[in-house]
Amino acid sequence: MTDGKKLSDRVYDALRQDILATRIQPGEKLSEAQLAARYGVSRAPIRDAFARLEQDRLVEVRPQVGTIVSQISEDAAMNVVAIRLLLEPPAARAAASNLTDEDRERLRTAFERLSSLAPNSEAKKLQLFETDGLLHALIWERCGNPEVKRILDRYRGQIQRVRHSNAELGNRLQPSEREIREIYQALLRGDGEGSARALARHLKNIGRAVKSIFAALASQAPARKSASDPQPNTRGASAVKPAASIHTPR
């Protein structure tokens, strides 16, 4: 049996991951009762998770409405891309000469696994997200400037949501894999300028994809309910794709 604090952390991590992976959709209204049943906990750790997720800007608490998964706006997504373009290419330039042998082995293992998986499979998609996250995290950590990591860490949630939206709506799985391989190969060569150029291309392509996604959504707007309206979760707790158990294995 875990203590209250540890259980609260596990509920927060599980719910946060479901939101970041868009298993729970932007605009969806969250039900304490359904989530408590889903995760097999009381409502108290769910309420604690809501408070922390509000600080992360992943949910909004609206009076007389409830707790809503925050929307991903085009302006917010493009602002994050702009911040990344300012910080990440120079970080990659510096990181190319700072990677350790362990870093290179971690990247090599991740990319080899990515290559081994069937195209367009769910396993391939999940491994791409994991590999992309590892690549960027190592660049942030090895750039020699802790402020870069501190700043980008603040946007980690938005970055992950944009990553998933690009994959699901922007048909970016295969292009993203090619682009992050270019970054990886330049890093392995110790090519700082090549790493910076490849990362800048990758981020610019993400920005173009974000604009395309929102343009497509705007063209469908007359047939859609306003994105600003909360979408109640009428599917029931079991309808949301399950995450890993939050309980300690017995």
User: What is residue 243's predicted lDDT score, i.e. its pLDDT?
Assistant: 43
Q: Which range (51-55, 87-91, 93-97, 100-104) has the least confidence?
A: 51-55
Instruction: Tell me which of 163 and 66 has the higher pLDDT.
Output: 66
How do residues 200-228 score in pLDDT, each as one tens digit? 999 999 999 999 888 887 887 655 554 44
| pLDDT above 90 coverage of the chain, percent | 57
User: What is residue 246's predicted lDDT score, i.e. its pLDDT?
Assistant: 44
User: What is residue 222's predicted lDDT score, i.e. its pLDDT?
Assistant: 58
Domain ranges of the chain: 4-70, 74-221
How do residues 151-196 score in pLDDT, each as one tens digit? 999 888 888 888 877 776 657 788 899 999 999 999 999 999 999 9
Long-range Cβ contact pairs of 133-137 (< 8 A, separation 24 or more): 133/160, 133/163, 134/106, 134/107, 134/110, 135/107, 135/110, 135/180, 135/183, 135/184, 136/88
Nearest alpha carbon to residue 156 among 27, 55, 56, 59: 56
CATH class of the domain at 4-70: mainly alpha
* 3.10.20.90, 1.20.120.530, 3.90.79.10, 3.40.50.1100: CATH of 74-221: 1.20.120.530
| 190 dihedral zone (left: phi>0; alpha: psi -120 to 50; beta) | left
User: How does the average pLDDT of the chain come out, rounded?
Assistant: 85
How do residues 108-146 score in pLDDT, each as one tens digit? 999 999 999 998 888 998 899 999 999 999 999 999 999
Kindly state the average pLDDT of the residues 35-58.
92
- pTM, two decimal places: 0.76
User: What is residue 244's predicted lDDT score, i.e. its pLDDT?
Assistant: 39
